[in-house]
Structure 1
Amino acid sequence: PLQRIWASLEPRLEGLLGGLKWLNLGGGHHITRADYARDDLSAFLRQVSERHGVEVYLEPGEAIALDAGILIGEILDTFDNGGPVAVTDISATCHMPDVLEAPYRPALLNEAADGAPLRLGGPSCLAGDVIGDYRFATPPGPGTRIAFLDQAHYSMVKTTTFNGVPLPAIALWNSDTDALRLIRQFDYPDFRDRLS
């Protein structure tokens, strides 16, 4: 896709690139995926650099944390609203903004392909604070823990404390020892101090 975009953009930049030292072609490239054509990308970037005499940059973006990190939450309450709904302590608007902006449906750990459907929503007052519809082998109730996969890339850098919803704690799990180390826990002073 980057090559196609550049083919369309390059003629419009004719005469402008000669005065530049650097050219930033942005981020969002999933260069760490196994099926990404990295050799083709390298050749393309080298070609642009040599043709225009610029140093070409790509922003690392989410690729550095692709398929990393989970966001763990808990179901706070369940009810029926024309279908089963669960309110969680995870907020789409506060913790997973790509769910609302992209749109994006994060994978749920152990989602049951043929399970009972349940709409998961967040605790904020935002009417659209909906994570999405998921399936569970057994209908979960209050206290059930849930985990969304591949959340490291934006669940920390794009979070908000809208409506006083706390930020999730950040922890590191050692898969060799099963040890969990708390890196940072957020509380009211973090919310208050962001406002001043």
Structure 2
Amino acid sequence: MKVDIKTYKEVHRPTYILEEERLRNNLELISSVAKMANVEIILAFKAYALWKTFPIFREYIQSTTASSLAEARLALDKFGSQAHTFSPAYTDYEIDEIARCSSHLTFNSFSQYDRLHLRAQKANNQISFGIRINPEYSEIETDIYNPCAPGTRFGVSADKMPDTLPQSIEGFHSHCHCENGSDVFVRTLKHIEEKFAKWFTQIKWINFGGGHLMTRKDYDIELLVDTLNDFHKRYPWLKVIMEPGSAFGWQTGPLVAQVIDIVEDKGIKTAILNISFSCHMPDCLEMPYHPAVRGAETVEENIDYSQPYTYRLGANSCLSGDFMSAWRFDHELQIGENIIFEDMNHYTTVKTTMFNGITHPSLAIVHKGSDELEILKEYGVEDYFNRMD
């Protein structure tokens, strides 16, 4: 089906749309950073796992990062390479298969390492073990996303590290960013080095985790590259790994929905859509953040619904709070009209639910140099049944 990518007027059902040209632009930038900084940048499935697009990714990167058995299998079965795996805690009944699917396995605690590393090594004698460290510093302002907040369940702080690491621990993993700039990485790196550099001579690699939003327009790429190259000069034996998620899917396409009713109460107009914030854009409510809607002005303060064409957008779920406020359009919304939520290809499809049995949006791609929309997956009632089967 040919589509107008400005309006997607030909699309009449909820659809996540990936625009391949935008994806390739991100991949090319990320690949160039990896080369300039002599680091390995890998895809974090927790933010993006649309496996039918993996052949595109394989043109630019070779590895991925997993946090579960399912993601580790996704890496091996669909991406075609073993995963860099981290989990807050591995289970006895999954550790063997996880190890077989992993090139790197990071433990969250020394107790997990002590209990499970021999089993993992028996399952895969080529595996490289790491330990997650907690630098006790993060500039993430939303607590739900802050892995270094007091009482965190993530990683080992410097005061709990042994002077000599277990012989088979070859790397450190640190994750304390969330859609941050390189200036934040510079400040974080200072804390990591101050607390953990004395162990760097005992390891071979260090993984600086995700949250490095290098594809955002205002991200200072030069600062990141210079910072990483300076790090190499100080510790030339350490291989550096980074595993952003959002950076790969950032601004690569929208979620297209439709208006199915318009209701009003106490002067507040709500356009009800055939999608759900809770089910299909959960970070909007969790973070929270106010998504951009194409052709509409976002109104966050001093909302005046008496102003023309000012609407809440609400879901067709039974959850009372499944709505967001507010947007101002340049016309009166009509039943059947498309509402296009920008930038909906990271932390969306990986987090969706089928709460209330609401029909899941389709997955689609517009290929580079083409106006043809290819449907990758459509969902129906059977998919809801299968979750309970």
- Is 2:255 the counterpart of 1:71? yes
What amino acid is the match of 2:295?
N
Aligned to 1:51: 234
Distance in 2 of aligned mates of 1:17 and 1:124: 51
Give yes or no for contact 2:309–2:333 (8 Å, CA) kept in 1: no
TM-score normalised by the chain length of structure 2? 0.46
SS in structure 1 at match of 2:190: helix
Aligned to 2:366: 173
Aligned to 2:136: none
TM-score normalised by the chain length of structure 1? 0.87
Larger radius of gyration, structure 1 or 2?
2
Aligned to 1:183: 376
Distance in 1 of aligned mates of 2:340 and 2:271: 14
Deviates more, 1:32-41 or 1:74-83: 32-41
- Match 2:287 to one of 81, 88, 102: 102
Deviation (angstroms), 1:112 = 5.1
Change (3 A) 1:79 1:66: same
- Match 2:271 to one of 86, 90, 102: 86
Distance in 2 of aligned mates of 1:60 and 1:163: 32
- Once the two structures are superposed, residues 130-176 of structure 1 have per-residue CA deviations (whole angstroms, 9 ceiling, x without a partner) of 13311122221332221111111222222111221222101122474
Change (3 A) 1:14 1:179: closer
Give yes or no for contact 1:48–1:56 (8 Å, CA) kept in 2: no
Aligned to 1:138: 331
What amino acid is the match of 1:96?
M
Change (3 A) 1:17 1:180: same
Change (3 A) 1:172 1:56: same
SS in structure 2 at match of 1:26: coil
- Is 2:186 the counterpart of 1:10? no
Identity, in percent, stands at: 34
Q: Structure 2 regions of 5+ residues with no counterpart?
A: 1-183, 299-306
Aligned length: 196
- Is 2:23 the counterpart of 1:23? no
- Match 1:41 to one of 224, 231, 235: 224
Distance in 1 of aligned mates of 2:332 and 2:270: 10
- Once the two structures are superposed, residues 63-111 of structure 1 have per-residue CA deviations (whole angstroms, 9 ceiling, x without a partner) of 1121111111111221112211121112111111110122211111111
